[in-house]
A = this chain, B = another copy of it.
């Protein structure tokens, strides 16, 4: 992963994807930002945009049978660097991906793996103090327990 590009894309991504969609100007915006929106990329983005919960690469692939596995993974990596989507770890066998719009976290049931989104977040990254780090601009926070179905 190119870390420079990572920083740049993070800075550029001041509008969430939902705004991009509404603006109907995705290809132009992509172009202005120096990115290319191909058909596979648009299809993958649409799946994530329409999903109400985080999806694994495999789940995305199963909805887009014509798109190759390698393309799925490369595209997810691309969008993650771009900061358009988030790659999250919920202690499963693979990573999950979701649109990067409103900041939120998750509760995961240790038994059935059901995922609930929660808005709770009172963590201001910059307030964390560290001598070794020059900046901290990201965090992951996930909760684990048992859902009511699994008691």
Chain A contact residues, CB within 8 Å of chain B: 3, 6, 87, 89, 91, 107, 109-111, 114, 116, 118, 120, 123, 125, 128-130, 132-148, 150-151
Contacts and interface: CB of A to CB of B under 8 A. Distances in A.
A133 B110 contact: no
Contacts of A150: 3
Nearest to A149: B132
B147 A132 contact: yes
Given A107-B133, A111-B3, A148-B134, A143 B128 contact: yes
A145 B140 contact: no
A135 B128 contact: no
Given A89-B89, A91-B89, A118-B128, A144 B134 contact: no
A91 B148 CA distance: 29
A110 B139 CA distance: 12
B139 A144 contact: yes
Given A89-B89, A142-B140, A133 B111 contact: no
Contacts of A116: 130, 132-133
Contacts of A138: 143-145
A146 B107 CA distance: 27
